A and B are shown apart, each in its own frame.
Chain A
Amino acid sequence: MLIYLLRRLNLLVLTALVLLGLLYIASLKMPGDTLTNLSGVTHPSQEQVARLTERYHLDGNGLQGYLAFVRQRLTGDFGLSQASGRPVLNELLQVIPATLELTILALLLALLVGIPLGVLAAGRRGPLPNLLWGGTLLGFSVPTFWLGLLLMLTFGLSLDALPASGRINLLYDVPFVTGFMLVDILLSDAPWRWAALWDAINHLVLPTLVLAALPCFIVIRTIRAAMLAEMDKNYIRALMARGVPRYRLVLSHALPNSLAPMLRLLSLQLGQIASGVIIVEMIFTWPGIGSWLLAAQYQGDHTALTGGVLVVALSIIVLTILLEIAQALLNPVIRKEIHG
Chain B
Amino acid sequence: MAITRYLLASLTLFWLVGCGGDQPQGGSGLVYCSEGNPETFNPQLTTSGTAIDATAKQLYNRLLSIDPTSGELVPELATAWSVSPDGLAYHFTLRQGVAFHSTDTFTPTRPFNADDVLFSFGRVIDPQHPYHSVSGGRYPYFQSIGLAAQIARMERRSDHEVVFHLQKPNASFLADLATDFAILLSAEYGEQLWQQGKPTQLDNQPVGTGPYRLSRYLRNRYVRYRPHPDYWGEPAPLDQLVFDITPSSTTRVVKLIGGDCDVAALPQISELAVIQRYDDLAVDTRPGLNVAFWAFNTQKPPLDDPRVRRALSLAVDKRRLLTTVYQNTAVIGKGLLPPISWAYDPSLPPFPHDPYRARQLLESAGISELELDVWAMPIGRIYNPNAIKTAEILQQDMANIGVKLNIVSYDWGGFISKLEHAEYDSVLIGWAADNLDPDNFFTPLLSCDALISGSNRARWCDPEFDALMAQARATEDREARKAIYRKLERRLQSQVPLLPLAHASRTLGRQRHWQGPILHTTGGVDFTRIRKEP
A298 to B260, CA, bound (A): 25
A199 to B18, CA, bound (A): 11
Asked if A49 is at the interface of the complex by the 8 Å CB criterion, the answer is no
Residues of B bordering A, CB below 8 Å: 4-5, 8-9, 11-12, 15, 17, 19-22, 24-31, 218-222, 224, 240, 242, 244, 246, 248, 251, 254-255, 257-260, 410-411, 413-414
Do A166 and B220 touch (CB < 8 A)? no
The bracket for how many chain A residues form the interface is: 35 or more
- Nearest CB in chain B to that of A81: its residue: B219
List 5 A-B pairs, minimum CB-CB distance, nearest first.
A192-B26, A171-B27, A163-B258, A154-B8, A172-B27
A280 to B259, CA, bound (A): 21
Do B8 and A155 touch (CB < 8 A)? yes
- Nearest CB in chain B to that of A154: its residue: B8
- Within the complex, the shortest CB–CB distance from A155 to chain B, in Å, comes to 7
Do B4 and A169 touch (CB < 8 A)? no
Asked if A285 is at the interface of the complex by the 8 Å CB criterion, the answer is yes
Do A166 and B413 touch (CB < 8 A)? no
Do B5 and A169 touch (CB < 8 A)? no
Do A160 and B255 touch (CB < 8 A)? no
A163 with B260, Cβ < 8 A, contacts A171-B31, A205-B17, A299-B413 known: yes
Asked if A23 is at the interface of the complex by the 8 Å CB criterion, the answer is no
* Interface flags, A290-320, vs B, CB<8A=1, else 0: 0110010011100000000000000000000
- Within the complex, the shortest CB–CB distance from A45 to chain B, in Å, comes to 14
A171 with B20, Cβ < 8 A, contacts A154-B9, A161-B12, A165-B258 known: no
Do A195 and B26 touch (CB < 8 A)? yes
A residues 168-223 touching B (CB-CB < 8 Å): 169-173, 190-193, 195-196, 199, 202, 205, 209
The contact of B254 among A84, A165, A191, by CB within 8 Å, is A165
Asked if A92 is at the interface of the complex by the 8 Å CB criterion, the answer is no
Contacts of A163 in B (CB 8 A): 20-21, 255, 258-260
A54 to B221, CA, bound (A): 36
- Within the complex, the shortest CB–CB distance from A323 to chain B, in Å, comes to 28
The contact of A159 among B9, B222, B255, by CB within 8 Å, is B9
A299 with B411, Cβ < 8 A, contacts A205-B15, A285-B246 known: yes
**Chain A CB within 10 A, most for which of B8, B19, B27, B255:** B27
Do B20 and A202 touch (CB < 8 A)? yes
Asked if A164 is at the interface of the complex by the 8 Å CB criterion, the answer is yes
Asked if A321 is at the interface of the complex by the 8 Å CB criterion, the answer is no
Asked if A325 is at the interface of the complex by the 8 Å CB criterion, the answer is no
- Nearest CB in chain B to that of A158: its residue: B5
A162 with B17, Cβ < 8 A, contacts A299-B411, A299-B414 known: yes
Asked if A151 is at the interface of the complex by the 8 Å CB criterion, the answer is yes
A172 with B24, Cβ < 8 A, contacts A156-B258, A161-B17 known: yes
Do B8 and A195 touch (CB < 8 A)? no
